[in-house]
Amino acid sequence: MLNRDGEMRETQRALSEIIEHLQGSSKKLRSKQVNGFIDALLGAKRVFVVGVGRSGLIVRTFAMRLMHLGIDVHVIGETITPALRDDDLLVALSGSGETSFAVSSAKIAKGIGTKIAVVTSYPRSTLAKLADHIVKLPGRTEIASIKSYLDRQIVGEYESLAPMGTLFEVTALVFLDSVVASLMVKLGKKEEELRARHANI
């Protein structure tokens, strides 16, 4: 069991790991993928977003910012979400690219003729294969090669302090906020205009 100093060190180590991952992810982004995604957002009549669990929360934050930009945006699964059409764009967020609800939503969208943009760590996943546009974001793909905790400490191999999908999710949050910043520039929007659409009740 960690003492207070140990807890602080582990927190700092986790924070450093996440920051390093974000910096590395920025360098791995492909301009063609990012530009294609931004063009798809700008070219769509309406934008629909889908994600499950923590990815669902992150894609909702993206939807909120799109709304602040004046883009007609909807969240799949909400009771007031209208029907998809072929001039819309579906944005699906899934680290694994295998989340069943996101995949089934994309299959329905594909049948309608809706364009699909997928943000994932796995460009060969089921979800990515349905996409018209893919943005690959690095996530946690490696597991410890040495199973014993004590043996890992001796050789200096440390297991990630960011559990499960955390690295993908944090990267997706920052990436999508960065896309919003790009959209602000392309659309000539100022922060005051976004604030005017912010919830006031």
HEC per residue, the chain: CCCHHHHHHHHHHHHHHHHHHHHHHHHHCCHHHHHHHHHHHHHCCCEEEECCCHHHHHHHHHHHHHHHCCCCEEECCCCCCCCCCCCCEEEEECCCCCCHHHHHHHHHHHHHCCEEEEEECCCCCHHHHCCCEEEECCCCCCCCCCCCHHHHHHHCCCCCCCCCCHHHHHHHHHHHHHHHHHHHHHHCCCHHHHHHCCCCC
The answer to whether residue 52 is domain-embedded is yes
Question: Phi-psi region for residue 53, left (φ > 0), alpha (ψ -120 to 50) or beta?
Answer: left
d(CA 75, CA 48): 6
pLDDT at 147 over 70: no
* Residue type for position 118: V
Share of the chain above pLDDT 90, in %: 69
The answer to whether residue 67 is domain-embedded is yes
CATH number of the domain that residue 135 is part of? 3.40.50.10490
pLDDT for 87: 97
Query: Which residue in the list 20, 142, 159, 169 is annotated as catalytic?
Result: 169
* Residue type for position 143: I
Q: What average pLDDT does range 71-78 have in this prediction?
A: 97
d(CA 195, CA 69): 9
Residues contacting residue 38 through CB under 8 Å, at least 6 positions apart: 179, 182, 183, 186
d(CA 177, CA 81): 23
d(CA 166, CA 172): 10
Q: What average pLDDT does range 18-33 have in this prediction?
A: 90
In the chain, the number of structural domains is 1
Q: What average pLDDT does range 173-188 have in this prediction?
A: 96
pLDDT for 163: 57
The answer to whether residue 201 is domain-embedded is no
pLDDT for 161: 54
The answer to whether residue 104 is domain-embedded is yes
User: What pTM was computed for the model?
Assistant: 0.85
Mean pLDDT computed over every residue of the chain: 88
The answer to whether residue 167 is domain-embedded is yes
Question: Strands 115-120 and 133-136, how do they pair?
Answer: parallel
Q: What average pLDDT does range 19-42 have in this prediction?
A: 93
The answer to whether residue 59 is domain-embedded is yes
The answer to whether residue 90 is domain-embedded is yes
What is the tens place of the pLDDT at every residue in 87-141?
999 999 999 999 999 999 999 999 999 999 999 999 999 999 999 999 999 886 4
pLDDT at 65 over 70: yes
Question: Which range marks the domain in which residue 10 is found?
Answer: 4-196
The answer to whether residue 76 is domain-embedded is yes
159 part of the active site: no
Q: Which of 144 and 103 is assigned the larger pLDDT?
A: 103
pLDDT for 142: 41
Q: What average pLDDT does range 29-46 have in this prediction?
A: 97
What is the tens place of the pLDDT at every residue in 4-15?
766 788 888 888
